[in-house]
Amino acid sequence: MKKIRDFGVNIGNIEIGERNQISDVDGVMVGHTTIDNADIQTGVTAILPHTGNIFKKKLRAASHVINGFGKSAGLIQIDELGQIESPIFLTNTLSVGAVLDAGVSYMLDENPEICDSTPSVNVVVGECNDMILNNIRVQSITKEHVYTAINNSSVNFEQGAYGAGRGMKCYGLKGGIGSSSRVIEIDSEFYTLGTLVLANFGRMKELTIDGRKIGLEIYKKLKQTNDNGNEREKGSIVVIMATDAPLSHNQIRRVASRASVGIVRTGSFLENGSGDICIGFSTYHKIPHDKRNIKPYRHEEIHDDDIDLFFRAMGESTEESILNALCSSQSLKGYKATLYSLSEFL
């Protein structure tokens, strides 16, 4: 599984993390369930924000909608309360309901008090439409697929055509799951910011790698086989951001919004038919669900004069995550088309 750096392309100037993926943020794990069965090419990806009980120890969080052509679940409460209390699940568009149901079941299994002695739970699901490679109308995702993705979670996870990324198309090529990370130094303290993308957007002619208009080159080589070069951008991208830095809810939202920088640098114009959604969280503060015997806790956050470093890291990490999704995904023949890996053209 090659990444963009294996082809001599180093995005940005900020130092990358140990694994160069979102799990460089301590406690974050990712798991997949992948379905590879003829016309069914889809799956589920689960992002676990920390290794404990996320409902009992919530994290500060925020979302940012660049373009709202999407069917995500759970964003309203994140933005109202500034907290996340469940794993984040990614899947295909028509399976949001099934994954939400399974995610609720998982949270009920883990927390018997939900809707008994305490209010309900907010489960977060993001989606992209994989109808080109996957017969999405079959609605093949089940509860077992969601539980398996959770149980498969690890700091070491596959990128490319795995989990929710199995059936994704990006810039007319094989898209999918990609990840990257950056290490930021502020006043001799080091913080990590990591991103994970579900990349399913863009037009082939516009793909740009570190300033190189490679999409037009690929388009000419393929002789319009997979993309007429003029079709409207109809896909989507979900960007997950994690950091161990002490950021406030509003700072998380502002940093997450800079995913747009990375998306645009790869060639997208964030068109009407592209659903572009960012969800971010910080592991620095763990907020107890039960307030009994808990005194008011101090809230720390970085100074806004230092936030530009996080903006830059978010842009760089998102850009590299997208390119890693394209490089890591193998060429795949699916339901309606064959899509090629970017790695075949580098």
pLDDT (tens digit per residue) in 300-319: 899 999 999 999 999 999 99
Name the residue among 173, 175, 144, 178 with its Cα closest to residue 158.
Answer: 178
Q: What is the DSSP letter of 296?
A: P
Mean pLDDT of the chain: 95
pLDDT digits (tens, 9 = 90+) for 141-152: 999 999 999 999
| Structural contact between residues 129 and 92, judged by C-beta atoms closer than 8 angstroms | yes
E strand map for the chain = 29-37, 40-48, 57-67, 83-84, 88-92, 124-128, 169-170, 173-174, 176-186, 189-200, 236-243, 275-288, 332-333, 338-339
Q: Is the pLDDT of residue 286 over 80?
A: yes
User: Does the CA dihedral 73-96-126-53 come out positive or negative?
Assistant: positive
pLDDT digits (tens, 9 = 90+) for 24-69: 999 999 999 999 999 999 999 999 999 999 999 999 999 999 999 9
Q: Are strands 88-92 and 124-128 parallel, antiparallel or unpaired?
A: parallel
Q: What is the pLDDT of residue 279?
A: 98
Angstrom distances, CA of residue 299 to CA of 62, 214, 248, 249, 296: 16, 46, 8, 11, 9
Catalytic residue ranges: 236, 274, 276
Of all residues in the chain, the percent with pLDDT exceeding 70 is 96
pLDDT digits (tens, 9 = 90+) for 205-241: 999 999 999 999 999 988 755 554 556 667 899 999 9
Q: What is the pLDDT of residue 212?
A: 96
Q: What is the pLDDT of residue 223?
A: 72
- Residue 290: count of CB within 10 angstroms of its CB: 10
Q: Model pTM? A: 0.96
